């Protein structure tokens, strides 16, 4: 059964996010792009936990590269729980967000993302996205 937790481009969880669109200038002059993505669910009364050891292991957000070796590489993406955290985050590293997450837009987690690529062909790239470890969805206590 699919879980209702997902990534969204807005805090109200109304706009599902399929990928992190990155626009690049061919001369490498495009600055790093910072944005905020929200992880959450609009389902009522649900709790999300890591399937490996529910309530103990962290939910972990990682960078998913659907076109490894082409486009934007995961090694050029940083994740953090705050804008300031992006300065010390290590590109390519996963982001633990805690052992559980409740549903509802008020409980959505803001994930700050920084994409900083070297010079590449001019265009918009959609090969980078976000993923979580395997999770379970249960009724909230």
pTM: 0.90
b/e string for 47-57 if b means 16 or more Cβ within 10 A?
A: bbbbeeeeeee
Length of the chain: 141
pLDDT averaged over every residue in the chain: 89
**Contact call for residues 38 and 133 (beta carbons, < 8 A):** no
Tens digit of pLDDT for each residue in 55-83? Answer: 999 999 999 987 766 677 888 899 999 99
The predicted model gives 88-103 an average pLDDT of: 97
């Amino acid at each position: 059964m699919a879980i209702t937790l997902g990534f969204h481009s807005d805090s109200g969880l109304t706009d599902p996010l399929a990928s992190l669109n990155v626009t690049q200038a061919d001369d490498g002059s495009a600055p790093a792009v910072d944005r905020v993505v929200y992880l959450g669910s609009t389902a009522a009364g649900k709790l999300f936990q890591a399937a490996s050891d529910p309530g103990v292991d962290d939910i972990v957000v990682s960078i998913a590269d659907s076109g490894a070796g082409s486009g934007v590489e995961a090694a050029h993406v940083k994740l953090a729980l705050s804008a300031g955290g992006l300065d010390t985050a290590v590109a390519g590293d996963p982001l633990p967000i805690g052992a559980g997450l409740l549903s509802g837009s008020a409980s959505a987690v803001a994930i700050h993302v920084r994409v900083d690529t070297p010079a590449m062909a001019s265009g918009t790239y959609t090969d980078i996205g976000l993923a979580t470890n395997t999770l379970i969805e249960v009724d909230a206590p």
